[in-house]
């Protein structure tokens, strides 16, 4: 089959690789019909390279048609239409039953000290072949895949794999009080969707911050009060502008939908680049122990949130030695919640909104639909935010 493989920094290629097959009774193999490109893939493209191996198959936002199931997957059969959550969990351990499949005790990548494995996401997360491919082997298929009805185009459902539950969890963790306000930093797919969900759930004021004009426009068109980072001389001016709209206090909650590649501080790039140049054996551990994220967005979130408010972090950070402003966090009595989205924890709550009247605007959420063979162009375009690319779906 053809699959998108990682070959090196900013180097992905579509290559012929062996077809996946059933290896465990709890496996399924699906024929992928749509597969998303995510901000998280961009970390692998550029920053997390020490944790990648050339030839790794990328992608964690796939849906498709079940081809084959193992004997331990009673509820799926060939021909079913399914969306595959980006994490692999058993559905039956203490963590899964608590609603935390990202921490699944059956599948945890204990050799790396990490939680549940993720499709197409570095050896830290199990080096599992990903879903930007013609076929995908889905482990723990007795729990993961979400069955969806025939009829609507893939666009209606594909975001259940990641964007929707991630944005949903971001808003749930933000815990915006009735009639309250929330600021969303970053208006990529995750931040944009988080704004939509916050409004749907009744947040009174939703503020959105980014620096890409078409991303700001998309949010503004759906009622978000937007702020263009480029129009402020410094962070203080931005904080003042948003505080002015919240009685001088700051929003009740701030969602960080940016993560480690935040625009606005370059210091950590040096460390990341240095680690990426080391021999593979050294590069991994070293990057792991000494890495520092670019923390501009997280610092802004902590400064901006009102005293006693909540910071909800969806953006991915990977540093082990990040300097955090604990004086401010403690003094402002901030609550901080974060993590990978627990997909199946939220999917049943979300599905009722995936209807013909489309309250979340999923049907035209994608800005680009490309064949899988265009993956190298798609990655480049999405990373550089060219051609109005906000969400890219690929069709094998």
- Residues in contact with ligand NAD by CB under 6 A are 38-40, 42-43, 162, 166, 185-191, 209-212, 215, 229, 257-259, 262-264, 296-297, 314-316, 340-341
Q: What is the dihedral of CA 74, 75, 79, 85, to 10 degrees?
A: -110
Residue 336: Cβ within 10 Å count: 16
| Angle between helical axes of 280-290 and 267-277 (0-180°, round to 10) | 150
The 135-174 site mask, x for binding Zn ion (CB under 5 A), equals ---------------------------x------------
CB of 7 to Zn ion, least distance (A): 20
Q: Does 106 bind Zn ion (CB under 5 A)?
A: yes
Cα(123)–Cα(305) distance, rounded to whole angstroms?
35
**What DSSP letter does each residue of 90-123 carry, written as one string?**
-SSSHHHHTT-GGG-TTT--GGGT-SS-BBT-TG
Q: Using CB distances below 5 to 8 A depending on partner kind, what does residue 370 bind out of Zn ion, ligand NAD, none?
A: none
Number of residues that bind Zn ion (CB under 5 A): 10
Question: Look-up: residue for tokens 């939509």?
Answer: 196
Residue 119 or 135 with smaller CB distance to ligand NAD: 119
Q: Using CB distances below 5 to 8 A depending on partner kind, what does residue 186 bind out of Zn ion, ligand NAD, none?
A: ligand NAD
Q: Which two tokens stand for residue 65?
A: 């048609």
Q: Using CB distances below 5 to 8 A depending on partner kind, what does residue 89 bind out of Zn ion, ligand NAD, none?
A: Zn ion
Q: Which neighbouring-strand residues pair with 16?
A: 2
Q: Is the dihedral of CA 64, 146, 121, 366 positive or negative?
A: positive
Q: Does 38 bind Zn ion (CB under 5 A)?
A: yes
Nearest to 18 by CA among 53, 57, 45, 68: 57
Q: Using CB distances below 5 to 8 A depending on partner kind, what does residue 226 bind out of Zn ion, ligand NAD, none?
A: none
Q: Using CB distances below 5 to 8 A depending on partner kind, what does residue 130 bind out of Zn ion, ligand NAD, none?
A: none
Q: Does 118 bind Zn ion (CB under 5 A)?
A: no
Q: Does 93 bind Zn ion (CB under 5 A)?
A: yes
| Angle between helical axes of 189-200 and 213-220 (0-180°, round to 10) | 10
DSSP state of 177: -
Q: Which two tokens stand for residue 30?
A: 């699906």
Residue 26 or 140 with smaller CB distance to ligand NAD: 140
Q: Using CB distances below 5 to 8 A depending on partner kind, what does residue 171 bind out of ligand NAD, Zn ion, none?
A: none
CB of 162 to ligand NAD, least distance (A): 5
> Which chain residues interact with Zn ion by CB under 5 A?
38, 40, 61, 89-90, 93, 96, 104, 106, 162
């Amino acid at each position: 089959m053809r699959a998108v493989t990682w070959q090196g920094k900013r180097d992905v290629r579509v290559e012929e690789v062996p077809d996946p097959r059933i290896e465990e009774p709890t496996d399924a193999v699906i024929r992928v019909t749509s597969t998303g490109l995510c901000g998280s893939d961009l970390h692998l493209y550029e920053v997390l390279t020490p944790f990648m191996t050339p030839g790794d198959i990328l992608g964690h936002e796939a849906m498709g048609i079940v081809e084959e199931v193992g004997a331990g997957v009673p509820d799926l059969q060939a021909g079913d239409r399914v969306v595959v959550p980006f994490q692999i969990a058993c559905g039956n351990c203490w963590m899964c039953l608590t609603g935390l499949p990202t921490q699944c005790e059956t599948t945890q990548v204990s050799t790396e000290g990490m939680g549940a494995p993720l499709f197409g996401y570095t050896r830290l997360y199990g080096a599992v072949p990903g879903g930007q491919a013609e076929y995908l082997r889905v482990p723990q298929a007795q729990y993961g895949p979400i069955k969806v009805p025939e009829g609507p185009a893939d666009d209606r459902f594909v975001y259940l794999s990641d964007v929707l539950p991630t944005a949903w969890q971001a808003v749930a963790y933000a815990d915006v009080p009735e009639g309250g306000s929330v600021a969303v930093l970053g208006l990529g797919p995750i931040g944009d969707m988080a704004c939509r969900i916050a409004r749907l759930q009744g947040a009174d004021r939703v503020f959105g911050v980014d620096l890409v004009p078409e991303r700001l426009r998309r949010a503004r068109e759906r009622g978000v009060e937007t702020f263009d980072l480029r129009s402020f001389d410094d962070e203080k001016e931005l904080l003042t502008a948003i505080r002015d709209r919240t009685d001088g206090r700051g929003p009740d909650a701030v969602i960080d939908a940016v993560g480690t590649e935040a625009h606005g501080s370059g210091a950590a790039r040096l460390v990341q680049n240095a680690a990426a140049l080391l021999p593979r054996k050294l590069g991994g551990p070293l990057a792991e122990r000494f890495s520092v994220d670019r923390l501009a967005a997280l610092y802004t979130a902590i400064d901006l949130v009102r005293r006693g408010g909540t910071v909800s972090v969806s953006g991915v950070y990977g540093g082990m030695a990040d300097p955090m402003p604990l004086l401010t966090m403690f003094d402002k009595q901030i609550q901080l919640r974060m993590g990978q989205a627990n997909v199946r924890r939220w999917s049943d709550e979300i599905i009722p909104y995936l209807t013909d009247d489309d309250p979340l605007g999923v049907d035209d959420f994608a800005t680009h639909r490309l064949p899988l063979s265009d993956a190298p162009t798609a990655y480049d375009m999405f990373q550089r935010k060219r051609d109005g690319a906000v969400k890219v779906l690929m069709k094998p």
